Amino acid sequence: MIATGQPVSRSHRLRRRLRHGDVPFRLLAATFAFVVVALLVAIVGVAWDGSAAAREAFGLRFLTRTAWNPVAGEFGALPAIYGTIVSSAIALLLAAPPGIMIGIFLSDLSPARLRGPLSLMVELLAAIPSVVYGMWGIFVFIPFFRGAIAEPVSRALGDTVPFLAGPVTVGRGLLVAGIILAIMILPTIAAVSRDVLSVVPTHQREALLALGATRWEVIRHALLPYARAGIVGGMMLGLGRALGETMAATMVIGNTPRIDPSLFQPATTAASLIASQLPTTNTELHSSALVYLALVLFLITLLANSIARLLVWRVAGAAGGRR
Amino acid sequence: MQQAGVTTVVPERRIHLAVAGARDDAPAIPAASEVKLDIRKLTIIYGQRVAVRDIDLRIPAQAVTAIIGPSGSGKSTLLRALNRMHDDVPGVRVTGEVLLDGQPVYGPEVDPVEVRRRIGMVFQRPNPFAKSIFDNVAFGLTVFGARRLSRREVAERVERALRQAALWDEVKDRLDQPATSLSGGQQQRLCVARALAVEPDVVLLDEPTSALDPIATGRIEQLMRELVEQHGYTVVVVTHNMQQAARVSDVTAFMTVDASRAGTLVEVGPTARIFTNPQDQRTEDYITGRVG
Ligand SMILES: Nc1ncnc2c1ncn2[C@@H]1O[C@H](COP(=O)(O)OP(=O)(O)O)[C@@H](O)[C@H]1O
Ligand SMILES: [Mg+2]
């Protein structure tokens, strides 16, 4: 670093770097990074173009309109937005606590012998294709859920609690979709939690252990604070998956573009509405509205990811700064 | 073969201790009744690998005991067994006995958490929590203290611990600043204070100065003496620095690796004797710098 024999060593260094592939590798990596940006621009561009007719017809009111009637040429995104957000929120709410607990168990509590097989099983859960989850939902979960939970609950409480109102007809609906999505994002949250917990430095655990902390106290005071940012990140990854999940949601949510306060009633998500209707559109406005909806969905996931980043930054910043 | 080595050394060592107690030029070595930690036939195995084998060692109360030996001889492994830090590490087996004031540390009824509150530990690298100076010391009291203390009691105990750790004067005006704002040596003394705040009898230190500069090292060494002489703690310090052992300890135990690569205790005795008149050739080779 210090200036001794600069000219010789500099050209020598350049030659070395070229020969060892440093520069070419940098160029290659940079190219791929720009390809990602280009892809993103292209996709947004196509969606923008394709949605021109619908944007002209409805403008931003598209976001607040509730009618979705292809025959009458009426299109509004609100029911799809509502279904997307509510089903994903249910999924996150249901999956986060057990997912984090599984992560804690795998990283810290599980006997060494069980850790490998259990981790593998969690990863397998993430590898199941979503259409299989959908099928399982249709053939196994919905019949059970309708008979054992939805019908009795809506009969007992439906009159007083609008969220749980009946009559339960098909059994498909928001809550069922939320539950299936929860199962699908559970492995993501569990695996990320496990990973971020297991990189918590040993010296932090040991500091607490040596003070006479119990296992739970070590988890509570050393592991969770240290890993919080990563766990939030894992939850947001799961949320992202739930927001965009198409196949399983399409199969179990009932595909009804309608806002009903009851979680037992059929609904739709943006992704499932697009997937179920795009192949059979008759008018240009219809397909254009679906592309517009895709654009909206993209914005929603972008928003969710940005919020996640913000949270992670804030948490990481707080942990690294004062106190 | 190494077995023979150990078994011949052990009785010898006991004699040294007994004899040393009678010598008036040596530091006061307590009689057997003042043994704080009695380690008997302690063997520690990582998976298949024997890390230390058949350790017999008595740690005298209210003295500084140094454990010296080359890297990898199992000093840390032995030290961590004393407050059951191996308990939650998968694949570690500890056999033999450790008695704290005559009570088994590894008894079936014994809560390891209780053991660790009586035997505090300070690590090689300073490892304060990402909290304020005050909160670091108070942590063991407020967050999972056995009984609830009033704010005043906590503040008093924090001050006492910081004074005992010889850090009070340097931090008393900035207790709410983050612990990371302290220098490495101060952080290490903070870790000592944190350990002292829960009022242990014994303080274990594993190479506490290896990450510190000479001045900070000197302060920690002085602190170890004060802990024993002024505050009555029992201190066990692992170090691979022989000068440090010679400077701070009353009793020195020398460990090395035997032919099967397991750590063994070669010799233990009053520090002055170990350094001037070692009984075992391996000790002599080590302290004269012929090995390690
Ligand atoms: N967690 C562990 N798992 C497996 N082997 C270990 C572990 N910790 C230490 N060892 C081994 O045990 C032996 C003793 O290590 P250690 O107690 O750290 O020695 P020292 O503190 O004297 O340098 C070494 O050979 C080391 O590789
Ligand atoms: Mg060590």
Residue A62, SS3 per DSSP: helix
CA dist., res. B140 & res. B136, Å (int): 8
- Note whether residue A292 is domain-resident: yes
Could you tell me the CA-to-CA distances from B122 to A88, A313, B189 in Å, in that order?
47, 32, 9
CA dist., res. A88 & res. A74, Å (int): 26
Are B36 and B101 spatial neighbours (Cβ–Cβ below 8 Å)?
yes
What does the block give as tokens for B264? 């063994």
Residue A228 CB partners (closer than 8 Å, separation 6+): A315, A319
CB-nearest to A322 from B113, B139, B178 is: B178
Residue B99 confidence (pLDDT): 95
Residue B146 confidence (pLDDT): 60
Q: What angle do CA B204, B205, B209 make, to 5 degrees?
A: 170
Residue B278 confidence (pLDDT): 94
Cα A267–chain centre separation: 19
pLDDT 10s digits, A133-159: 999 999 999 999 999 988 889 888 888
- Note whether residue A20 is domain-resident: no
Per-residue H/E/C for chain B: CHHHHHHHHHHHHHHHHHHHHHCCCCCCCCCHHHEEEEEEEEEEEECCEEEEEEEEEEEECCCEEEEECCCCCCHHHHHHHHCCCCCCCCCEEEEEEEEECCEECCCCCCCHHHHHHHEEEECCCCCCCCCEHHHHHHHHHHCCCCCCCCHHHHHHHHHHHHHHCCCHHHHCCCCCCEHHHCCHHHHHHHHHHHHHHCCCCEEEEECCCCCCCHHHHHHHHHHHHHHHHCCCCEEEEECCCHHHHHHHCCEEEEEEECCCCCEEEEEEEEHHHHHHCCCCHHHHHHHCCCCC
Q: In total, how many domains does chain B have?
A: 1
Residue A317 confidence (pLDDT): 57
- Note whether residue A41 is domain-resident: no
Residue A7 confidence (pLDDT): 56
- Of residues B227, B194, B28, the one with CA closest to residue B126: B194
- Note whether residue A140 is domain-resident: yes
What does the block give as tokens for A240? 């992202």
pLDDT 10s digits, A273-308: 999 999 998 899 999 999 999 999 999 998 888 887
Tell me which chain A residue has its CA closest to the CA of residue B84: A210
Question: CB-hemisphere CA count at 13 Å for B30?
Answer: 15
Residue A315 confidence (pLDDT): 62
CATH of residue A303: 1.10.3720.10
The helices-and-strands tally (H runs, E runs) of chain A is: 15, 2
Are B129 and B139 spatial neighbours (Cβ–Cβ below 8 Å)?
yes
Q: The whole model's pTM is what?
A: 0.76
Test B88 with A209 for CB contact under 8 angstroms.
yes
Could you tell me the CA-to-CA distances from A174 to A149, A218, A246, B70, B177 in Å, in that order?
14, 39, 14, 66, 50
Cα B215–chain centre separation: 21
Test A214 with B144 for CB contact under 8 angstroms.
yes
CA of residue B254 to ligand 2 center, whole Å: 14
- Of residues A242, A269, A294, the one with CA closest to residue A80: A269
Are A241 and A189 spatial neighbours (Cβ–Cβ below 8 Å)?
no
Residue B32 confidence (pLDDT): 45
- Note whether residue A297 is domain-resident: yes
Q: Which residues of chain B are at the A interface, by a Cβ-Cβ cutoff of 8 Å? A: 83, 85, 88, 90-91, 113-114, 116-117, 120-121, 123, 125, 127-132, 135, 139-140, 143-144, 178, 191, 194-195, 198
Mean pLDDT of the region B96-105? 94
Residue A6 confidence (pLDDT): 52
Residue B90 CB partners (closer than 8 Å, separation 6+): A111, A112
> Domain containing B112: what range?
4-132+199-287
* Residue B214 pLDDT > 80: yes
- Note whether residue A298 is domain-resident: yes
Ligand 1 atom, smallest distance to B74 CA: 17
- Note whether residue B164 is domain-resident: no
Residue B150 CB-density burial (10 A; 0-12 exposed, 13-18 middle, 19+ buried): exposed
* Residue A1 pLDDT > 50: no
Residue A81 CB partners (closer than 8 Å, separation 6+): A63, A270, A296, A300
- Note whether residue B149 is domain-resident: no
Check residue B7 and give left, alpha or beta (phi > 0: left; psi -120 to 50: alpha).
Answer: alpha
- Note whether residue A5 is domain-resident: no
Residue B291 confidence (pLDDT): 60
Are A86 and A260 spatial neighbours (Cβ–Cβ below 8 Å)?
no
- Of residues B41, B117, B48, B126, the one with CA closest to residue B78: B41
- Note whether residue B85 is domain-resident: yes
Tell me which chain B residue has its CA closest to the CA of residue A108: B88
Residue A198 confidence (pLDDT): 87
Q: Which residues of B touch A212 (CB under 8 A)?
A: 113-114, 116-117, 140, 144, 198
Residue B5 pLDDT class (50, 70, 90 cuts) = very low
Ligand 1: which residue has its CA nearest to atom 6? B46
pLDDT 10s digits, B238-258: 998 899 999 999 999 999 999
Ligand number nearest to the C-alpha of B206: 2
Residue B234 confidence (pLDDT): 96
Residue B240 confidence (pLDDT): 85
* Residue B196 pLDDT > 70: yes
Q: Computed over its alpha carbons, how large is the radius of gyration of chain A?
A: 25
CA dist., res. B220 & res. B137, Å (int): 17
- Note whether residue B39 is domain-resident: yes
Q: Which of A129-138, B6-15, B255-264, B268-277 has the lowest mean pLDDT?
A: B6-15
- Note whether residue A209 is domain-resident: yes
Residue A200 confidence (pLDDT): 86
- Note whether residue B156 is domain-resident: no
B171-178 contacts: CB < 8 A, separation 24 or more? Answer: B171/B133, B174/B133, B175/B132, B175/B133, B175/B134, B176/B132, B176/B133, B176/B134, B177/B132, B177/B133, B178/A322, B178/A323, B178/B130, B178/B131, B178/B132, B178/B133
- Note whether residue B141 is domain-resident: no
Q: Which residue has the tokens 């009946």?
A: A166
CATH of residue B11: 3.40.50.300
- Of residues A87, A133, A115, the one with CA closest to residue A238: A87
| B126 preceded by a cis bond (ω within 30 of 0) | no
- Note whether residue B158 is domain-resident: no
- Note whether residue B144 is domain-resident: no
H or E element in which residue A230 lies:
helix A224-244
pLDDT 10s digits, A15-29: 776 667 778 888 899
Whole-number average pLDDT of chain A:
88
Q: Which residue has the tokens 């097989």?
A: A117
> Domain containing A249: what range?
46-322
* Residue A8 pLDDT > 50: yes
Q: In total, how many domains does chain A have?
A: 1
Tell me which chain A residue has its CA closest to the CA of residue B141: A211
